[in-house]
A and B are shown apart, each in its own frame.
Chain A
Amino acid sequence: MSSGLALALALVVLVLALGVAAALPRYLPAAAVLGALLLVVVGAVDVSRAGDALRALAPTVGFLAALLLIAEGCRRDGLFEAIGAVMARGSRGSPRRLLRLVFAVAVGVTALLGLDATIVLLTPVVFATAVRIRTSSKPHVYACAHLANSASLLLPVSNLTNLLALHASGLSFAHFAALMVLPTIGVVGVEWVVLRRFFATDLRRPRGRGTEQARPAVPRFALVVLALTLVGFALSSLLGIAPVWVAAAGAVVITVPALRPANAVALVRAAEPGFLLFVFGLGVIVAAASDNGLATGVRDVLPAGTSLPDLLAIAALSALLANLVNNLPATLLLIPVALASGPGAVLAVLIGVNVGPNLTYVGSLATLLWRRVLRAQDTEIELGEFIRLGLLTVPAAVVASTALLWLGLQV
């Protein structure tokens, strides 16, 4: 098969898989796996190359599964209820105090447990807390949605894109985190300033007078496992252990005590096996597209240096691509190319693909498809406000954090 035809086919399969992801998430693993199989069968990608892609992804996918299990364990132990109760008490009914707490908690949860935990587990708690103290929930839920992406720069475990980059870049867990501290501060600072202004009217409102909260039970077990896992991550390179094994140990320790025959299926589902299959399938699809000319195209466009203008261009292009398709395929495509310029360029890619999605969230293609689905479900969502807020935060956050990354790379 000619590489032009193979590239075209791979791109069609990619778009179809993302379309299914947007419109029919239930069939997403099947779509990606079938798409990948099709590309192998028609010869758009070699069997051995597909095998290499799968082998390269395996540790990352295992890592993600372990992190999802740790987050689920934290939920089971009542961590998120405790967070909700602490926020309700700490805010004393004031929307501004609540926003400060939401920022602190969302940054912490995103960094330690990953963006999934912030979206799936923390956001409902934040919503319930705001409703319970009888204040506007809007700024707080927007803050969660935004910080799930923008605070996911800090640690390799904060975002699947980071895990992909960590594995490829050869950075240690601690080195990655050290380089990403300044960019994270930059992004969170921009979010704070913009959200405070954007929701000034909601935040200026008086204290709500909601019902009193009982003092929450402290989820000691989850906190201890989480702390030990984090220490393990930080020391992993000194001890010569891959961080994925630390995550696996944490997942086993937090999951095994809860394991019963009755909930075994639920526990397996918490690791999102369908999504993990999707990642494998996507890896093969992107490999097919990359090998048949897309990587060359990207190499022509992506700057090769690590000067400040180069890093800014890399981050901006990454953000653009993440918004066009989605940040997962964007990461799979960009990381191997950026790797040639060293870890600085890889981290600039991460700034783009992690912070960029706050503009359209799923990627504009999927967003377009998805809006049709939503309208069919009789749930009208105005994306205008969301996109306006994204336009105010994303460019400033990408520039600020890339400049801070560059600064950190100089020392």
Chain B
Amino acid sequence: MRALVWIIEDTWQATVAQAAEYLPAQAEVTLLHVADTQTEGVARVARHGLLGRDPPDRGREGELRAISEQAAKELLDDARNAFGRPVECEARRGRVEREVVAAAEDMDILILARDGDRAQLGPRSIGPAVRFVVDHAPCRVLLIWPDPAPSLTTIPPPPPGPPRPR
């Protein structure tokens, strides 16, 4: 069994712990982190607005990328240590949701955490990136709650039924 575990900065511990709990010992596990290049792109857009002040040959062009790659490496190292079994690590860069789906190709299962509002059950517990991945994943998906799941009472009462036909 080939398993992909997608970790995000603020929920990686819960994701790794639950993946270690559910995946069988013989599973080939890959931990995945995707750095969002859109944010770096916005910083570049802003620099470009300076019209040649701070030109690219000043060596600051790769500054954000270096910060981002170093942080991804540290995060994956922490996650590998927390997993406690031999695992592969994969660091990707790009549009997060697309990269995760691409990395899930040829996998048997993808494990990921909800990235939205974790106070109540419902669609808002899933943000746009996880929504895209869940909708497009080319394999089975295990979607975890990073915290204990909220209680059933957080579901709003059902809407009134349709009007009775006359």
Binds B, one of A45-53, A170-178, A205-213, A332-340: A205-213
Binds A, one of B22-30, B54-62, B100-108, B132-140: B54-62
Does B18 interact with chain A (Cβ within 8 Å)? no
Chain A residues whose C-beta falls within 8 Å of the C-beta of B38 in the assembled complex: 138, 381-382, 385
A110 to chain B, nearest CB (A): 12
Identify which of A28, A134, A209, A386 contacts B52 (C-beta below 8 A).
A28
Interface size class of A (residues with CB under 8 A): 35 or more
Report how far A21 CA is from B52 CA in the complex, Å: 7
Residue-wise interface mask of A (188-216) relative to B, using a CB-CB cutoff of 8 A (1 in contact, 0 not): 00000000000001101111110000000
B12 to chain A, nearest CB (A): 8
Contact: B9 with A379, CB < 8 Å? no
Contact: A25 with B63, CB < 8 Å? no
Identify which of B42, B48, B55 contacts A370 (C-beta below 8 A).
B48
Does A383 interact with chain B (Cβ within 8 Å)? yes
Report how far A205 CA is from B116 CA in the complex, Å: 7
Contact: A120 with B57, CB < 8 Å? no
Chain A residues whose C-beta falls within 8 Å of the C-beta of B10 in the assembled complex: 134-136, 205-209
Does A111 interact with chain B (Cβ within 8 Å)? no
Report how far A374 CA is from B50 CA in the complex, Å: 16
Chain B residues whose C-beta falls within 8 Å of the C-beta of A137 in the assembled complex: 36, 39
10 of the cross-chain contacts (CB-CB < 8 Å) are: A68-B53, A116-B53, A124-B67, A128-B67, A132-B71, A134-B9, A145-B46, A275-B50, A379-B41, A382-B95
> Interface residues, chain A, CB within 8 Å of chain B?
21-22, 25-26, 28-29, 68, 115-116, 119-120, 123-124, 127-128, 131-132, 134-138, 141-142, 144-145, 148-149, 201-202, 204-209, 269, 272, 274-275, 278, 326, 328, 357, 361-362, 366, 370, 374, 379-383, 385-386
> Interface residues, chain B, CB within 8 Å of chain A?
9-11, 13, 36-58, 60, 63-64, 67-68, 71, 75, 95, 115-118, 127-128, 146-147
